[in-house]
Amino acid sequence: MKALSILILGFSLSLLFMQTSFSSEVLRSIPVQNGGRIKPLDTLARESVRLIHGKEKYMKKDSSKTVLTWLLVPETWNQTELIRIDNLELKKALQLDESKKFYSLKTLSINPSIQSLLQNLNTKRKKKVKLGAFDQALQKLESQMMTMRSFQTGDIFSIGPQADTDAWASVNRVDPKTQSHFTNLLTALSRHIGSKESKESLKDLDAAALVLKNHIYEQAKKYGKPVNESKIKAEIFFNKYHMFRYAWICYLLALLLVFGFSQTKKEAFRKGFLGLMGFGFLLHLLGFLLRVYISGRAPVSNMYETVLWVPFGTLIFGALVGKWGKNLFAFVGSCVVAVFCLILSDLAPNILDPSIQPLEAVLRSNYWLLTHVLTITISYSAFFLAFILGDFSLYYHLNENKYRKQILDLNLSIYRSLQIGVLLLAVGTVLGGIWADESWGRFWGWDPKETWAFIALMGYLAILHGRLVGMLKTFGMAASSVVAFSLVIMAWYGVNFWLGAGLHSYGFGSGGVEYVSVFVLVHILYVIFVGLYRKLN
Amino acid sequence: MEIDKLPQKFFKFLASIKLAVIILIGLAAISAVGTFYESLYNADYAKQVVYYSFWMFFFQGLLAINLIAVMIDRLPWKKRHTAFLLAHIGIILMLIGSLQTYLYGIDGVMVFPLGSKNRLIYLPQKEISVFSSFDGNKYTELLRKPVDLFKTFRKSDEGLSFKVESGSDLKIKDYYMFAESRPRITSSESKQDGPALRFLIEGSRAKQSAWLQVNKIRPVETKEFGLAQVTLSLNPPKTKLSTNEIFFYPGEDTEKVNYVLSSKVGQSKGSLQIGDKIQTGWMDFNLRLINYKKHAVEKIEFQEIKYPHALSTEAVLVEFRGKDYWIGVDQPLKVFDEDKVTIISYGKQRYDVGFNIQLKSFEVGRYQGTLKAASYSSVVEVDGKETLISMNNPMMKNGLTFYQSSFQEDESGKPTHSILSVNKDPGRFLKYFGSLVTGLGIILLFYFKKFGRVSSKRRKDEKDDDEETT
């Protein structure tokens, strides 16, 4: 037990110190207006580098510095192979070297085919044709190139608060004073880089950044729209400490410990498992709270946020269900779900966009929206738990006689999870109706998102009724909770990323369809395999 | 099997949970198909073909029967049946509520240009209408009939026929659910129609072609290309041409069009026929006449397409006075004869709300520094009283509810129209009440054993599984 406390303590300390580097904190905290809100330069820089390069950092350098050098030495960056293209078709259409991942802005700008392709895309957008994978990739490339150019021209640096409008002016159009502060900052940065990032030059850079930052704060205050400094600070903290990443690392380590427990039955392992899970949960929670604080809304407005939110619910239900059943299965199951979801959200930023975007008008400041989305997504948590427990139970069904006890424990937990899920999904769907009624005057409009929630509800109701008359026994419950989760995947992911139609088009993205299909298919095959195995034995 | 036991057996089947499971899966499956239709086609089509199809109503009806039967089957009811009854009664109420909405509800759209008055809403249902006028000011309604052409033409190809005036019927002969409209310029027999021409400008840097068409209403049309311009006019040029301009006007010859060309080199004159090419003197550009019609009209043609897109439309083939015409949605057809004009139109049904609404002002709140709308609201005046309608803040009047649903803007991002969604939902109360009852039922069923025990004689073979609920 002692060893474990030390482990946890050591881990949390390393959290704080691992990321320390000699970079300018002040530089990062310069407020910029972008994407409909005021954010620190740090966020703008990370988001832009992620968009263009696919990672938050280029060559592990501080992104705030990186993007400023795009303006400082645009010619050098034109030649740098920085822009990431994944779509093979697009590479072919542009006759690019397909073995490469990254291309320079210059190569792309002088590409003979790109103009006509973009014109084509524009026509499609005007006609409002649904864009396929190729066009979406092209659209992304367009925005990568445009973003990079807007850094090179300086247009993206909106740092000048204005008296008569909400819109901040870009650095090219601000008052001379702001402009000279900005120029001084660039000068200090070029000295800093020229001196191989020496400590003294960093001090100068910090000083220049501070002058500019204070000036922007003063201007904003003068025009009656002050910048919320604690939000900026919170956001920098949030960007720096990747709470969700450390949360999944905790969950993953916890799983290792529970594996140790299953092998040795030593109590210390069990306690360590629960402790690490608890610690991960706290990080997870902290990440959420910060995100809610920064964005000023509930964290369920896009796919990325729900992929963080759903396992959060699963952990809570796992604890509830696990306690009732007095078994560890529900805990382990929820931990697996959490690791899976958080890794997914961390490693697929191109599909699950982590940036904080402004909400569509219809989604804003509405009580029903908040409650219905929270309720429906948290019902997915319960179904996810039933799904993973179904997976476990199916495994035990390979040797039913030996694992009778485990199967019965799991069966009860699955049933409990489904009950929670059905209740929440039913209530959430009705709340969605109330929201639609309030916003558009129609309770039910057969929009695909609500229709798939309805389909999932029907599916799970069929399972609960089937169980009632004995149509589904332990194997049936396990198998159906695994298969029925495909309906949730469809409602949660498929509608937005695959069907791509309907009123819920906010929150739409693309990509990953092949992986999700494989995930679903593998589980269906697993169910068939266990079913056949039982028949044959 | 004994015959006299059949009714009893049939009732047991209607009340069975097995049937319930079949219905649930059936509803889920049909709805799933609907979402794919919506994705491939559009929402209207999915509703027509799936959500409001026979099978959907059939399963919902069967669900109601199943729910009622199972409740009768459990008679006499005991305390432990409370949850079960509530959950099921609630669903029946919701079904009745949705039927009310379907039969008597109104779900329309009202579109206002800024500053204008309106009292009509558009419904999703379609109608065909015919008007005539002698003077262009006063119109007489000859026909107004709701139609569902998708259904009509799905059943048979015969089409519809309406009596409009003595001696000639209006026939609807064909229908495309999804079509693309293309304007096409064709030769006209009438000497009243003006000329049209198509040209191609070609140089080492660019290549572009365009149509020009003029008539009495618009006697001059000009297309600009960077520094040069091409003009077609009914009459020869009266004023001086600009430096780089070619000016076309019709001559006596039906095959040839006259031109005056001006460039830095100077002015030249001549005439061209189809296929002729001239040097323009504007850098290395050539101009070629691709088509010329001395008398031309623009006709809209429709081509059927498999899947709709944002700009596709429905198209209807009508026969009137022995002639065939294609018309699109809300693209009325005007047929002239000696003393009057007849207008034939196919479009959304309109519904008069019974009072005038004036749009006083419209505002869009944007996210700072972007064009993305954060909120929008309309101030309207009804009976001299001003009301603010904003998102989630509707106006109620005469049993109708007016919601701010969206707006239109021009290319510069200036709002031009406010769009309200106007509804009447007589099933609202039952849907809400039913949801509440069902929700309560589910909670009791799952978490309060006293009211929620389902059956005492079930599943002998699964006794060891979750004793708590049995």
Q: Which of A151, A179, A207 represents a domain boundary (last residue)?
A: A179
Inter-chain CB proximity B370 and A35 less than 8 Å: yes
Quick one: which of A342, A348, A189 has its CA closest to A277?
A: A342
List the single range of A147-156, A397-406, A505-514, B319-328 with lowest mean pLDDT: A505-514
**Is the per-residue pLDDT at B387 higher than 50?**
yes
Residue B405 shares a structural domain with residue B382: yes
CA separation for the pair B333, B327 (Å, rounded): 7
Q: Is residue A397 part of a domain?
A: yes
The pLDDT of residue B452 is: 59
pLDDT tens-digit map of A203-235: 999 999 999 999 999 999 999 889 999 999 999
The pLDDT of residue A178 is: 93
Quick one: which of B113, B63, B69, B53 has its CA closest to B91?
A: B63
Residues 6+ apart with CB under 8 A from B470: B453, B456, B458, B459, B463
The pLDDT of residue A503 is: 43
Inter-chain CB proximity A465 and B39 less than 8 Å: no
Q: Residue B419: which domain range?
A: 109-120+351-424
Q: Is residue A252 part of a domain?
A: no
Identify whether B76 is preceded by a cis peptide bond (ω within 30 of 0).
Answer: yes
Q: Residue A160: which domain range?
A: 26-179
Is B107 within 8 Å of chain A by CB? yes
**Is the per-residue pLDDT at A351 higher than 90?**
no
| Best residue in A468, A477, A487, A513 for a mutation probing chain B (most B CBs within 10 Å) | A468
The pLDDT of residue A12 is: 53
**Is the per-residue pLDDT at A142 higher than 50?**
yes
Q: What pTM did the predictor assign? A: 0.85
CA separation for the pair A467, B466 (Å, rounded): 12
Contacts of A445 in chain B (CB under 8 A): 43
Average pLDDT for A40-49:
94
The pLDDT of residue B289 is: 92
A17: pLDDT confidence band, cut at 50, 70 and 90? very low
Quick one: which of A452, A457, A374 has its CA closest to B87?
A: A457
Inter-chain CB proximity A458 and B27 less than 8 Å: yes
Nearest-CB residue to B107 (from A365, A422, A442)? A442
Is A444 within 8 Å of chain B by CB? yes
List the single range of A56-60, A297-301, B224-228 with lowest mean pLDDT: B224-228
Q: Is residue A4 part of a domain?
A: no
Inter-chain CB proximity B98 and A434 less than 8 Å: no
Contacts of B466 in chain A (CB under 8 A): 411-412, 415
Both tokens of A116, joined, read 């006509």
DSSP string, A173-184: GS-HHHHHHHHH
Residue B286 shares a structural domain with residue B198: yes
**Is the per-residue pLDDT at A462 higher than 90?**
yes
Half-sphere exposure of B124 (CA within 13 A, CB side): 13
Contacts of A168 in chain B (CB under 8 A): 368-369
The pLDDT of residue A253 is: 95
CA separation for the pair B356, B110 (Å, rounded): 12
Q: Is residue A68 part of a domain?
A: yes
Average pLDDT for B418-443:
92
The pLDDT of residue A22 is: 53
**ipTM for the whole complex:** 0.85
Judged by DSSP in three states, A156 sits in coil
Q: Is residue A238 part of a domain?
A: no
For residue B362, the domain's CATH number is 2.60.98
Q: Is residue A126 part of a domain?
A: yes
Contacts of B101 in chain A (CB under 8 A): 443
Residue B376 shares a structural domain with residue B453: no
Residue whose entry in the numeric block shows the structure tokens 């830095």: B264
Produce one character per residue of A192-230: b if its CB has 16 or more CB atoms within 10 Å, e if not.
Answer: bbeeebeeebbebbbebbbbbbebbbebbeebebebeee
Average pLDDT for A376-384:
96
| Count of domains observed in chain A | 2
Quick one: which of B59, B51, B62, B61 has its CA closest to B16?
A: B62
Residues 6+ apart with CB under 8 A from A96: A85, A103, A107, A111
A11: pLDDT confidence band, cut at 50, 70 and 90? low
Nearest-CB residue to B369 (from A33, A128, A443)? A33
B95: pLDDT confidence band, cut at 50, 70 and 90? very high
pLDDT tens-digit map of A262-309: 888 888 898 899 899 999 999 999 999 999 999 888 888 888 999 999
- The rounded percent of chain A whose pLDDT value lies above 70 is 92
Is B352 within 8 Å of chain A by CB? no
Q: Which of A155, A179, A203 represents a domain boundary (last residue)?
A: A179
Quick one: which of B172, B175, B111 has its CA closest to B145?
A: B172
Q: Is residue B380 part of a domain?
A: yes
Quick one: which of B468, B434, B432, B436 has its CA closest to B453?
A: B468
Residue B16 shares a structural domain with residue B95: yes
Residue B103: exposed, middle, or buried by beta-carbon count in 10 A (0-12, 13-18, 19+)? exposed
Inter-chain CB proximity A444 and B18 less than 8 Å: no
> Nearest residue of A to residue B396 by CA position?
A441
Average pLDDT for B375-389:
89
Residue whose entry in the numeric block shows the structure tokens 């949705």: B98
Average pLDDT for B273-286:
86
A127–chain B nearest CA distance, Å: 6
Both tokens of B189, joined, read 């027999």
Q: Is residue A235 part of a domain?
A: no
Average pLDDT for A446-464:
94
B4–chain A nearest CA distance, Å: 27
The pLDDT of residue B43 is: 85
Q: Is residue A187 part of a domain?
A: no
Inter-chain CB proximity B309 and A128 less than 8 Å: yes
**Is the per-residue pLDDT at B133 higher than 50?**
yes
| Count of domains observed in chain B | 3
| Best residue in B389, B392, B406, B425 for a mutation probing chain A (most A CBs within 10 Å) | B392
A362: pLDDT confidence band, cut at 50, 70 and 90? low
The pLDDT of residue A125 is: 82
First and final C-alpha spacing in chain B: 33
**Is the per-residue pLDDT at A373 higher than 60?**
yes
Produce one character per residue of A375-396: b if its CB has 16 or more CB atoms within 10 Å, e if not.
Answer: bbbbbbbbbbbbbbbbbbbbbb
Inter-chain CB proximity A361 and B373 less than 8 Å: yes
Quick one: which of B25, B27, B17, B22 has its CA closest to B84?
A: B17
Residue A402: exposed, middle, or buried by beta-carbon count in 10 A (0-12, 13-18, 19+)? exposed
CA separation for the pair B468, A416 (Å, rounded): 11
Residue B165's beta-bridge partner residues? B168
**Is the per-residue pLDDT at A505 higher than 50?**
no
Quick one: which of B292, B301, B304 has its CA closest to B199?
A: B292
pLDDT tens-digit map of A144-182: 999 999 999 999 999 999 988 888 999 999 999 999 999
pLDDT tens-digit map of A317-346: 999 988 754 578 999 999 999 999 999 999
**Is the per-residue pLDDT at B463 higher than 70?**
no
Contacts of B403 in chain A (CB under 8 A): 439-441
Quick one: which of A442, A318, A454, A303 has its CA closest to A386?
A: A318
**Is the per-residue pLDDT at B1 higher than 70?**
no
List the single range of A94-103, A200-209, A210-219, A435-444 with lowest mean pLDDT: A435-444
Q: Which of B294, B322, B343 represents a domain boundary (last residue)?
A: B294
Average pLDDT for B306-326:
86
CA separation for the pair A321, B399 (Å, rounded): 47
The H-assigned helical ranges of A128-228 are: 133-153, 176-194, 199-222
A125–chain B nearest CA distance, Å: 10
Number of Cβ pairs < 8 A linking chain A and chain B: 180
Average pLDDT for A107-123:
88
**Is the per-residue pLDDT at A508 higher than 60?**
no
Q: Is residue B300 part of a domain?
A: no
A6: pLDDT confidence band, cut at 50, 70 and 90? low
Residue A84's beta-bridge partner residues? A102
